[in-house]
Chains A and B, each alone.
Chain A
Amino acid sequence: SQQGEEDPQALSIQEGENATMNCSYKTSINNLQWYRQNSGRGLVHLILIRSNEREKHSGRLRVTLDTSKKSSSLLITASRAADTASYFCATDAAMGGSARQLTFGSGTQLTVLP
């Protein structure tokens, strides 16, 4: 089952604009991670935010986390055509046991038009 739901499912913007993607999840978490996937390829880790953090930055990426609303957002500033990809949030659930598998959302397909 998929823990997170991304919104929107698809987003198309012009180069230079900002892109915002949202993720909602259901259970308590240790941390939330964002991954990027280019078409037909594996996923690449972008950024991680812990449950006790509210905002985190990495280059052109800004992630926020609201644990009371069980939601996160990923902002990509000054987008480039090379940012075109699918973006997934993944939750590292605060559950018992040692598996600590990540549970992925259904993704946002971002298209940046040159």
Chain B
Amino acid sequence: DTGVSQDPRHKITKRGQNVTFRCDPISEHNRLYWYRQTLGQGPEFLTYFQNEAQLEKSRLLSDRFSAERPKGSFSTLEIQRTEQGDSAMYLCASSSWLGGTGANVLTFGAGSRLTVL
């Protein structure tokens, strides 16, 4: 188990292009989260999956953003028609929280940094 992997680590694109990020979580983790982080700020929640079901989306996730987690394994986050304001670090995290009163501790990947020119 090599932890949470994200690809690519860096992406530079022109405004209007589509980009896709991939996240491979820890294999036994059932929950997968996407966060966005801009410079000098903390991570902001975008969306989360339990197995293959996308159970919650933030209002930050506009119609240009779509996330999938086919078969409950890896996940992809696609941004269509990128804007300069999309420039940020996109962080993926996973956890094995089973609900109830237990704690939900996240394991993060190294992130995918997007620069939109």
Task: Give the B-binding residues of A (Cβ under 8 A).
Answer: 1-2, 4, 30-31, 33, 35, 40-45, 48, 50, 88, 90, 92, 97-107
Contact = CB atoms under 8 A, between A and B. Distances in A.
Contacts of B97: 100
19 contacts: A30-B101, A31-B103, A35-B108, A42-B4, A42-B6, A42-B108, A43-B93, A43-B106, A43-B108, A45-B106, A90-B42, A101-B48, A101-B56, A102-B45, A104-B43, A105-B42, A106-B41, A106-B42, A107-B42
Contacts of B85: none
A72 to B, nearest CB: 14
Given A44-B108, A45-B106, A102-B104, A2 B44 contact: yes
B111 interface: yes
Nearest to B4: A42
A18 to B, nearest CB: 23
Interface in B24-77: 33, 35, 40-45, 48, 50, 55-56
A42 B44 contact: no
A42 B109 contact: yes
Contact of A104 (B44, B103, B110): B44
B103 A101 contact: no
Contacts, number: 69
Contacts of B43: 43, 88, 104
Contact of A41 (B35, B105, B111): B111
A30 B55 contact: no
B44 A48 contact: no
Contacts of B103: 30-31, 33, 48, 50, 92
Contacts of A99: 48, 55-56
Given A101-B33, A103-B45, A104-B42, 7 more contacts: A42-B4, A43-B93, A48-B103, A50-B103, A88-B43, A102-B104, A106-B40
A65 to B, nearest CB: 13
